[in-house]
C-alpha cells in the first residue's frame, strides 16, 4: 500500500499547475482588454478630431458652429500654434490635438493631431477636457479659430 505522501504529491502538483495556468490566462485577458480599450480610445479620438477639422474646414470666415463632443472620455482637446516653443511631433505648424494628457508629452505618447492653416485658440485655457457630453463652439475669423466649451 502506498503512503499518503506518495498519493498527495502528484495531486498537489496538478493543482499548482492549474493555478499557474489560470493566473496566466487572467493576465492575458487583462492585457488584451487593455489593448482593445486603448485602440477604441484612439479610434474615438480620430473620429472626434476628424469631425472638428471638417467643421473648421467647411466654416466660412466670421461664422460659428457648434458640435457635440462625446468621446474619448478623460482625454483632452489641445491646440498648438506655430509660435509655440514646443509642439508634438505630429504638428508642423498650427494644429489641434486630442491627447491622453494636456501637455506635449501626453500628445506624443498617446494622441492624434491635425494641422491647420490658422492658429487655434482655446480662450483663456490650455486645454478642454472631454469628461462628459458637451457642446463645442467653433468660431472662425481672420485672426484664427477659437474653440470653447459651451456653457
The stretch 59-63 carries a mean pLDDT of: 92
Among 83, 125, 124, 90, CA closest to 104: 90
Residue range 102-125, pLDDT digits in tens: 888 888 888 899 999 999 999 888
B/e letters for 66-78, b = 16+ CB within 10 Å, e = fewer, are eeebebbeebbbb
The stretch 19-40 carries a mean pLDDT of: 79
| The model's pTM | 0.72
Cβ(104)–Cβ(112) below 8 Å: no
Residue 90 has a pLDDT of 82
**Residue 147 pLDDT level (bands cut at 50, 70, 90):** very high
Terminal-to-terminal C-alpha distance of the chain: 83
Q: With 60 as the cut, is the pLDDT of residue 71 above it?
A: yes
- Say how far apart CA 142 and CA 76 lie, in whole Å: 26
**Residue 41 pLDDT level (bands cut at 50, 70, 90):** confident
All three cell numbers of 58: 467647411
Amino acid at each position: 500500500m502506498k503512503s499518503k505522501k506518495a498519493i498527495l504529491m502528484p495531486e498537489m502538483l496538478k493543482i499548482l499547475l492549474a493555478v499557474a495556468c489560470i493566473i496566466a490566462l487572467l493576465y492575458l485577458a487583462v492585457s488584451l482588454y487593455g489593448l482593445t480599450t486603448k485602440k477604441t480610445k484612439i479610434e474615438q479620438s480620430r473620429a472626434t478630431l476628424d469631425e472638428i477639422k471638417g467643421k473648421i474646414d467647411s466654416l466660412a470666415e466670421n461664422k460659428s458652429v457648434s458640435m457635440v463632443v462625446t468621446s474619448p472620455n478623460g482625454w483632452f482637446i489641445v491646440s498648438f500654434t506655430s509660435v509655440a516653443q514646443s509642439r508634438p511631433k505630429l504638428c508642423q505648424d498650427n494644429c489641434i490635438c486630442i491627447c491622453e494628457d494636456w501637455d506635449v508629452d501626453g500628445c506624443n505618447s498617446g494622441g492624434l493631431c491635425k494641422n491647420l492653416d490658422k492658429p487655434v485658440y482655446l480662450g483663456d485655457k490650455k486645454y478642454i477636457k472631454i469628461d462628459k457630453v458637451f457642446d463645442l463652439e467653433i468660431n472662425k475669423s481672420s485672426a484664427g479659430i477659437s474653440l470653447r466649451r459651451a456653457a
